[in-house]
Amino acid sequence: MVNESVWLRPARRERRPLTLDRIVAEAVALLDEEGEARLTMRRLAERLGTGSTTLYWHVKTKDDVLDLALDAVFGEVPLPAAGAWRERAAALVTGWRAALLRHPWSTGLLDRPLMGPNALERTEFLYATLAGAGFGGADLPAAAFSLSTFVTGSATMQARDPAGDGAAVAGRLLAHREAYPVLAAHGLDPDWDAVFARGLAYLLDGMAARTQP
Amino acid sequence: MVNESVWLRPARRERRPLTLDRIVAEAVALLDEEGEARLTMRRLAERLGTGSTTLYWHVKTKDDVLDLALDAVFGEVPLPAAGAWRERAAALVTGWRAALLRHPWSTGLLDRPLMGPNALERTEFLYATLAGAGFGGADLPAAAFSLSTFVTGSATMQARDPAGDGAAVAGRLLAHREAYPVLAAHGLDPDWDAVFARGLAYLLDGMAARTQP
DNA sequence: ACCTGAACACCGTTCAAGT
DNA sequence: ACCTGAACACCGTTCAAGT
């Protein structure tokens, strides 16, 4: 019969099979475009051409999707190949910050255990770099945690600032100039790159001085 | 008529009027006891003896409740009265960390603008302390942001670690010991207080060296 | 000014059923 | 092994109505 012709049958919307990788990639795209509040199992499934309940064969919960999306961001952080320990640590940490800021929603997920393979690989790299530089005993975890804490904290702080213009904060501060005089005079619209670079220098200087006197 | 007697009328469940302060205090208590996932407008209202829709006269959205709860935590951070700049900064930052860790859910809210009066007062205090110590120009915002970033980041990192025993992370690491050898050997179950103290010393050392040569 | 109840447009997740 | 639809037990929020 004519109406069984290939051309008349509704085309399969999606030929590619649904995989975990496709789900994670689409979740990252959705988060990039619309932010965390709009990430819904139903909306995510819709973008993939299925129903929301289909996702649950590939994934146990929505939290899984978020964990995987976050680790995908960590996967974008390059591992610097060579250099002295200080340059390698600085390069790692700078690339780490850039990846987080490319996906500002990621800073809202930095509570929750970072146990994905990409996150662990970067942490291991940091530990290995510092251990190789002579950090030992209590200085090794202290140095490693200080650096990673500094990255995640400063990316969060910057992502918090809407569109980098500091308009909202500025308005609130200027309205209460007398209550926050120093902050209003010097804390508006900081140059985030410069703040990060200088803060990192403080930290690395302090680390170097304590372990290599 | 007998059934209009006071004793037979149902008692008013709550005599105290509903105020913003009561709502915020109850939200903090609920978050402390059950965590962020269980904070619901309906559950919060139930604890206050009303319906969820009543809350919306006092508050515009649920986000308002979270913003107010977070700023209540900042309100617990004492402002150190005296001392040299380094001791004052260290005391502020140590109390800040303690307040966040007393309410571990707060670290999950540290994305979002910190524009509550309590948060701004602490930030202003930090700026004023550093400005008084001679930090000027680009060093002032860099020093202030470095310190606050370090606090929020390290509290987040510690709150992430379940119950402080590091069991979950340890299990994952030990299962892949060959992939993460340095981390598995030195990064398990850190002494968080020691890590924080040493990291803070790195940072303050670096700051002091750059501005007061 | 403050509180209430009903209702709307959603959620995440389960599960029996299909191929 | 993989996908689907119906259904459950919730959500945040609005709004007309009460006092």
Please write the tens of the pLDDT for every residue from A49-80.
999 999 999 999 999 999 999 999 999 999 99
Mean pLDDT over all residues of chain B? 90
Q: Which residues in chain B touch residue A148, judged by CB atoms under 8 angstroms apart? A: 153, 157
The angle, 0 to 180 degrees and rounded to 10, between the axes of the packed helices A139-160 and B192-211 is 70
Does A55 share its domain with A93? Answer: no
Does A88 share its domain with A172? Answer: yes
Residue (of A25, A81, A75) closest to A48 by Cα position: A25
Does B165 share its domain with B110? Answer: yes
Does B195 share its domain with B102? Answer: yes
CA of B2 to C1' of C5 (A): 29
Helix segments in B35-138, DSSP class H? 41-48, 52-58, 62-74, 85-102, 117-132
Find which nucleotide's C1' atom is closest to B56's CA: D13
* Residue B213 confidence (pLDDT) above 80: no
| A174/A156 Cα distance (integer angstroms) | 23
| A172/B186 Cα distance (integer angstroms) | 45
- Answer whether residue B177 is part of any domain: yes
Does B86 share its domain with B137? Answer: yes
| Segments forming the whole domain that contains residue B97 | 79-211
Does B172 share its domain with B206? Answer: yes
> Is there contact between B34 and strand D, defined as CB under 7 Å from any strand atom?
no
> In Å, how far are A14, A96, A157, B186 from B202, measured between CA atoms?
54, 21, 21, 19
Neighbours of A6 (CB within 10 A): 6
pLDDT recorded at residue A123: 96
Instruction: Name the residue among B111, B117, B157 with its Cβ closest to that of A160.
Output: B111
Report pLDDT digits (tens) over B62-96. Answer: 999 999 999 999 999 999 998 999 999 999 999 99
pLDDT recorded at residue B138: 92
Q: Do B180 and A108 touch (CB under 8 A)?
A: no
Token duo for residue B150: 């370090």
- Answer whether residue B121 is part of any domain: yes
What CATH number should be reported for the domain holding residue A52? 1.10.10.60
- Answer whether residue A172 is part of any domain: yes
- Answer whether residue B3 is part of any domain: no
**Residue A193: CB partners within 8 Å, gap ≥ 6?**
none
Residue at which a domain ends, from B5, B32, B60 = B60
pLDDT recorded at residue A200: 98
* Residue B171 confidence (pLDDT) above 60: yes
- Answer whether residue A44 is part of any domain: yes
- Return the residue in A145, A165, A176 with the most chain B beta carbons within 10 A, the one to mutate for interface testing: A145
- Answer whether residue A71 is part of any domain: no
Determine the Cα angle at B140 with ends B209 and B123, to 5°.
120
Residue at which a domain ends, from A25, A60, A95 = A60
Q: Which residues in chain B touch residue A162, judged by CB atoms under 8 angstroms apart? A: 113
pLDDT recorded at residue A11: 52
H or E segment to which residue A36 belongs: none
Nucleotides of D under 7 A from a protein CB: 2-7, 10-15
pLDDT recorded at residue B161: 76
pLDDT recorded at residue A175: 85
Does A44 share its domain with A107? Answer: no
Report pLDDT digits (tens) over B19-28. Answer: 999 999 999 9
Does A109 share its domain with A202? Answer: yes
pLDDT recorded at residue A30: 98
Does A102 share its domain with A37? Answer: no
Does A50 share its domain with A91? Answer: no
pLDDT recorded at residue B96: 98
**What share of chain B in percent tops pLDDT 70?**
88
| A161/B145 Cα distance (integer angstroms) | 13
| B69 neighbors B28 (Cβ within 8 angstroms) | yes
Does B127 share its domain with B206? Answer: yes
CA of A3 to C1' of C15 (A): 35
> Is there contact between A40 and strand C, defined as CB under 7 Å from any strand atom?
yes
pLDDT recorded at residue A77: 98
Per the structure, how many domains does chain A have?
A: 2
Give me the tens of pLDDT residue by residue for chain A, a chain 213 residues long. 555 555 555 555 456 789 999 999 999 999 999 999 999 999 999 999 999 999 999 999 999 999 999 999 999 999 999 899 999 999 999 999 999 999 999 999 999 999 999 999 999 999 999 999 999 999 999 999 999 999 999 999 999 876 555 566 677 788 888 899 999 998 888 999 999 999 999 999 999 998 865
Tell the burial category of A55 from Cβ atoms under 10 Å away from its Cβ (0-12, 13-18, 19+). Answer: buried
pTM recorded for the entire structure: 0.92
| A157/B121 Cα distance (integer angstroms) | 17
CA of B48 to C1' of D14 (A): 21
- Answer whether residue A74 is part of any domain: no
pLDDT recorded at residue B58: 97
pLDDT recorded at residue B177: 87
Does A101 share its domain with A182? Answer: yes
What CATH number should be reported for the domain holding residue A196? 1.10.357.10
pLDDT recorded at residue B24: 98
* Residue B11 confidence (pLDDT) above 80: no
- Answer whether residue A110 is part of any domain: yes
* Residue B164 confidence (pLDDT) above 70: no
